[in-house]
């Protein structure tokens, strides 16, 4: 806990170092507040908060806050860009993603409502309300199908069949959009890295500073050394043929 606390305070203190150019006291405070309210800052704070709350308020029953300690695993995002890459990929295709999610929401509400009106009279325990029917709709549309709640009437079974088929289509559409965006993002990074290699090879050689810059870019993009070396060799062979 002491290590996590020191790390959090250090990250808050050095937050202004990410500002390019000169900054004053107001700029430093703004940068520190921005970090504290960021995703990483909140994760770091919530990781240590339960310990200090129990220390300063021992008479309160704060055992439920122990669950916040599980957020420490998200601290690994400081050293791996997988989460950031995923959200960035979704952001790049946000219009398509929002459109597909909108279709899913419509289908979700529609199937829940229709199943309620078709089943609530004969199946009052599982479909006693539209919000209760939403559990069945979500499980069916995502093709999980636990089978704990099943329709009984003919109309309910027809609605279930239609919901399952449309759910496969919409979920596959959302998955395809995310996968395509993620793949496009990786391709853009390869193009950027390859372009930097071409600029570095304008004089025909890679000096130590250029290699260091490429290595930093490789780590920033999460690219493997094998892939980076392959791109460098590809650019070198292309220049040799020219």
pLDDT over threshold 70, residue 212: yes
d(CA 228, CA 234) in angstroms, rounded, equals 10
pLDDT at 26: 81
Identify the DSSP state of 129.
S
Query: Looking at residue 109, what is its pLDDT?
Result: 95
Q: What is the mean pLDDT of the chain?
A: 83
Q: How far is CA 17 from CA 11, 32, 44, 74, 236, in A?
A: 10, 10, 19, 23, 36
User: Of the spans 39-43, 64-68, 178-182, which averages the highest pLDDT?
Assistant: 178-182
d(CA 97, CA 180): 11
**Percent above pLDDT 70 for the chain:** 88
Q: Where are the alpha helices (DSSP H) in 15-93?
A: 25-36, 39-56, 82-92
For residue range 132-146, list pLDDT tens digits in order: 999 999 999 988 888
The whole model's pTM is what? 0.62
- In this predicted structure, which of 55-69, 83-97, 123-137 has the lowest mean pLDDT? 55-69
CA–CA distances in Å: residue 143 to residues 103, 137, 157: 16, 10, 15
Q: What percent of the chain has pLDDT over 90?
A: 21
Looking at mean pLDDT, say which of 131-135, 179-183, 193-197 comes out highest.
Answer: 131-135
Which one, of 88, 7, 1, lies nearest residue 41 by Cα? 7
Sign of CA dihedral 102, 104, 107, 108: negative
pLDDT band of residue 61 (cuts 50, 70, 90) is low
Res. 126 pLDDT band, cuts 50 70 90? confident
195 versus 72: the higher-pLDDT residue is: 195
Comparing 3-7, 88-92, 238-242, which segment has the lowest mean pLDDT?
238-242
The whole-angstrom separation of Cα 159 and Cα 111 is 7
pLDDT band at 76 (very low <50, low <70, confident <90, very high): low
Contact 66, 50 (CB under 8 A): yes
């Amino acid at each position: 806990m002491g290590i996590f606390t020191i790390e959090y305070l250090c990250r808050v203190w050095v937050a202004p170092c990410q500002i390019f150019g000169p900054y004053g006291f107001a700029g430093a405070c703004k940068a520190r507040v921005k970090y504290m309210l960021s995703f990483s800052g909140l994760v770091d704070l919530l990781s240590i908060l339960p310990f200090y709350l129990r220390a300063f308020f021992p008479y309160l029953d704060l055992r439920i806050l122990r669950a916040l300690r599980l957020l420490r695993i998200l601290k690994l995002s400081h050293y791996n860009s997988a989460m950031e890459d995923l959200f960035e990929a979704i952001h790049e295709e946000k219009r398509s993603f929002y459109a597909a999610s909108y279709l899913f929401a419509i289908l979700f509400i529609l199937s829940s409502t229709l199943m309620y009106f078709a089943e609530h009279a004969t199946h009052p325990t599982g479909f006693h309300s539209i919000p209760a029917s939403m559990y069945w709709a979500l499980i069916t549309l995502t093709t999980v199908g636990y089978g704990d709640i099943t329709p009984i009437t003919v109309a309910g079974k027809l609605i279930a069949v239609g919901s399952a088929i449309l759910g496969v289509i919409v979920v596959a559409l959302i998955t395809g959009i995310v996968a395509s965006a993620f793949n496009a993002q990786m391709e853009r990074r390869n193009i950027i890295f390859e372009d930097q290699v071409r600029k570095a090879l304008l004089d025909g050689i890679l000096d130590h500073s250029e290699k260091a810059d490429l290595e930093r870019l490789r780590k920033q993009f999460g690219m493997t050394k094998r892939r980076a070396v392959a791109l460098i060799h590809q650019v070198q062979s292309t220049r040799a043929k020219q």
